[in-house]
Structure 1
Amino acid sequence: MTKRQTKGILMNILMEIKKRRAFIMSLAMIIVLGIFSCLVFSIWKEYKEAIIDNQKKQMLLTTQSMGDNLRAFIEGYQADVNSLCAMEEEKYKKTGEKTWSVLEEYVNYHTRYVYDAILEDKDGNLLKSIHGFGIVDTYSVTEIDEDTSFRQCRLKNGEIYLVVKKEIEDGKSVSILINTKSYNDTLVSNIRLGTNGYVLIKDSQGTILTHPQRSQWGINVISGRKVMFPEADLTSLEQMIDRQNRGETGVAEYYSYWWADPGVPEVKKISAFCPVYIGKGFLVMSAVIDYDDIYIPVAAGFFKLGLVSVGIVAVVLGMVFYIGALWLQKRKDREEITYLLELNNILEEMHQSEETIAHQQRLQIMGTMTGGIAHEFNNLLTPIMGYAELLMLELDETSDGYENAMEIYEASSKAKEIIQQISSLSRKNMETAYKTVNAGKVLRRAAKMVTSVCPPNVKVEEDIKLDEECFLGNETQINQVILNICVNAIHAIGHKEGKIFIKSQVVMPYELEQYKQSSVSGEWDSYIRISVFDNGEGMSEETLKQIFDPFFTTKKNGVGTGLGLSLVEQIIHSHKGHIFAESSVGVGSIFHIFLPVNEQKEHEGNPTVEGDRDGDLRLLIIDDNPKVLKLLEKNFSKLKVTIISCMNFEEARKTLKEQEVDAVISEQYVEGKSGANFCMSLKGTYPGLIRIIMADRVTKEIVEAKRRKIIDDYIDKPVSDSAILKAVKNCIEKM
């Protein structure tokens, strides 16, 4: 074999080796690429599923959060319709007449979502309405309880509204009509899901309550769309709606159509849904998104990443970047989930705050109404008491007429006391200065107030063993203490038969020591002990330790603030007193209040005003009630006092320019204008003029005006000639 032949064989062997090496390398490369492709495909599948699952979770969280808001929204209007019925019933007890004027007041204060509040008879005929449109058709009914239901109805004006309806006596019903468009535009449609996604609400039968297309309101999601779109295949949609109508919570992928788009294209959708339970029934909150809104952006991004990952280095770098991107995405998803959870908590807190604000607004409205009622009653009581007193002066004390006049005067005096009690509850505690208060009188009045707010199943008993003992304090605050404790007792008793027992007596300091478990200073010789018993459900030792902590409450969310007993403890401590509680589960609770006895007795009666009548006074009285002015003119005509009466401030200014007067006594508000502002305008022009306000209730404006010397004094209505002369005399003595 020659060298050329040997070289040729070696060259062939080397070529074969190279071919085999290239084949092995190619095979290895194919295997690596195959493994890489499988790895990439596995990662892609996991990534896609993770993104879609996270999106589904977010949609479900959003749906549940909106469902909670919808439940709270409906419960709020359920509470409102109950309050309207209760307020009308209370007014009926007082006046014997049901006008349902409270419906108009309610609609005027809730114009954001409330369109109307109506009253219907048992046949559905309209009895009372603000806008005058009755209900024509009812598309959906969801029972809340035996008397209340949530409905979707069409009115005579052709518009569809959500309705909270309550059945009352004689087959009548009261309904609050919620503006569906306002609710949908404000709280539903602003939630954006992808390019075409939306949120809708249905009842448990599949009737659509809200939808981006108003034409679909009131139709059944299956049967209604079969009528509107007879050629559409709704098999997949029917399976999902069946789950929703059974009250399930979940996320479903299904095939449906974009009903609002031209041509009604068929698409794959994702829907997150949950039931919203309202009493006996439930609604369905559903969020819908196009499947491609999730899938296409993810696929496009991953495809671009794959193009970059060409070659081994590119593959390695691509894997590194992909893993990093996946980690960041998961971290972002966790942050988004955490954010949504926090957002859900914030929404719940906002909802609780809204309930509290709404409750405070209702209390403010009730306080304003109470103040107006007190004003009207004072105007009525002034002539009744005045003319009764005149009759008593003119009649023989042994005559029947004198006895009748005495009965009228005493009855109107009791009415005056009741009005003052109502006013003391309807206003803030403007005057914080303490005075000597008769403990027995305060506790008996407080017991009467508690009796008036107790339901029929709760009885109030009292055993107040006090003579003339007094304490230094604020009567309104002590009333608030007793009322707060007793209201808690009413809640603890619930619907069972129960009893509240208020007991009071004078005790020595050593009885306080057994509760305080430490020696008591000798600053006070004796204490007034007030004990409030109830046979409610009682409290555990753990609960008992926290009852005076601010914001601690055992009531449901939105029912209690947890500030009642904290405020009670603060008031008692400000009176230099002590409060203790004892309780046993299933037995009841006892609250013991100790207030130091003030040796100074309460000043009884009014000082005589005979001395006042000897002087020649000229008084200008301003009041827009002619009956009050006529009575005062008649009373003052018997005294050496010149009375000039005016019915408005313009007439009073003219009188002051023409005549000299010693004092101006003005109604708190005359024709809607402030008497305090009128007195302020006189201060510079008539520096020596006495300025007095006749107040239906003491307000911050009145107290501040007296403190700043804008007015010299104020007197409570109903007024009399003696009260006016006494106030003028006091002001003259201070000058």
Structure 2
Amino acid sequence: MENKPTTRIINIIMTGLFIIIAITLITITGSFYTVEQNAKKSGQEQLMRTLNYVTNNLKLVIENRSLSLQQFSHELTSEAHPEAPLAETDREAIIATYLGSHEDQTNLLIQLDGSGVFAKAWQFADGTLQELSEELAGSYIKADPSLESLLGSGSLVQNSSDYFLENQSFVNLYSPIVAADGQITGYFIAPLNLENMFKAEIFSDTSDYSGYPLVKNADMEVVIHPVESQVGLDIISDRQEQFPDLDLSDLKRLEEAQLTQEEGTLSYYSYWWNEENPTKVLKLGAFEWIDIGAAHWVVALNSDFYEHNRVPIQNNYILLSLLLLISAIILIFILLIRGYNKKNQAYEESQRLIEKQKFENERHQLEKRILKESKLEAIGLLTTTIVHDMNNFLTPILGNAQLLMEDYAENEELVSELKEIYLAAEKGKDLSTNVLRFSKVSEGQQDTVHDLSKVLKDTISEITILTPKSIKVESDIAPGILVEGFDKQDLQVVLYNLLTNAFQAIDTRPGNVRIRLKKADAECNAGLQKRSIVTKDKEYAVLSITDDGPGIAEGLESNDLFDPFFTTKGSNGSGLGLFVVSSIADKYDWQIRLDRAQKGLTVCINIPLQKS
């Protein structure tokens, strides 16, 4: 079937818009690539100019340190003091002045004799000049890779090549000690801490941008680096061992370029090693090999490409692309209004159906509530009738039993049996009357404190008269459990209904019913206290009645058992026992819990204790 004309026009316009957007994105991508390449070239040229400044400055600083050592050496010679040799105190003052001038960089001075054998050493620390033993100062001589060959050749350069001690890098500055006759009588060696010198004199990290210069030797070991933990590391193997999960393939390319070229620039992916978890960034780098004394180093300078190259042309292209995309979005939005209207109609219809369903659910809930209230009204009427009829039945029993006890007062055995009949009938009359009382608290009972243990024992002794002989009732009741605000007769009604259910569950076969009362443990108390702000400070006692009957059938919800007229006993049950129990429990804010077991059922009632 052929599309309608309006639909065809919309499709053509949409296709045209997508083609325009695609062309725009391709153009922007090409422009960004060109901008990026130009920015890289410009950044590398800037880095190379900055690198020349750094290398010249590095050479100049080390040369100045060497000249300072030579000047100091000359001040100690007899040629500088022709009148009289220097006193030891004056000599030490000159040494202290020299070492103190750059204490953080050269705080150690070693003197060798003309044969290159250790003669003396001094260290300047905390404003004091101290003389060092050969054992302490000798490590700086032993670690020097250049000294032995230079002394053997008879010509000293201004400084040694680099070496490492205790994760720090050094070069030794040299100065011969020349006598008045021009003979070399010894040598002064001053270890120069390259890291401290570089940070103090050349590199001061005050920039907001990432990037820094560093120095490596011919073995690609880091000699100078702003992060001290990197000093002495091989830039590939040691870092790979330190960070096994990082990709260092571009660092290998950088190392290859630096080992094969005297100078150069390049871009590469690397990491900022001053971060705890280094992140991969695109860097611009420039490097140059230099010789300072016996040291042969490559000085490198790097920076974060994306931090330094937010050029205006890039912002212009971003602005252009945003304008094109906004225009396309506006056009598409206009064309989609028709579709939106249809969706809006469907949404309104859906909301109408949801409201209708909600109304049906509310009506269903209302019907259920009316039905329940009707049941409760029927319970009230039925209860009144039952109480009236039971009282009519029990009144002649009580009266005749009392008359028989008076007539046969001399027969103690018969009187005893008649008394049991009288007490049972009287108890039945009380229980039937109390059914009317479970919906309200009796006056005068709200503030009454009862010993729950005693009330329970008395109630059990009275109710067990009705216990079938085939059922054994056991009790385990903790003493001295005080509860306030309940009527003893309400507890009798609860216990009577629960025991009746237990007896009926066991039926005619032998069985056991266990009644237990104890204070709740800390875990149980904590769970009950979370119910509301009213119960957060209360403690509880637990009354449990356990039978070994068949228990609750599978698939039956525990909450259903408390509904009025709900029964699993067919015509043998009224469905009111647990309903009465739950009503009395609600009146006193007692909590009821049914625990299913493989055999039998346990009904637990949590009763708040008297506040201490």
Fold match, TM over 0.5?
no
Question: Normalized against structure 1, the TM-score is what?
Answer: 0.34
- Structure with bigger RCO (C-alpha 8 Å, 6+ apart): 2
Larger radius of gyration: 2
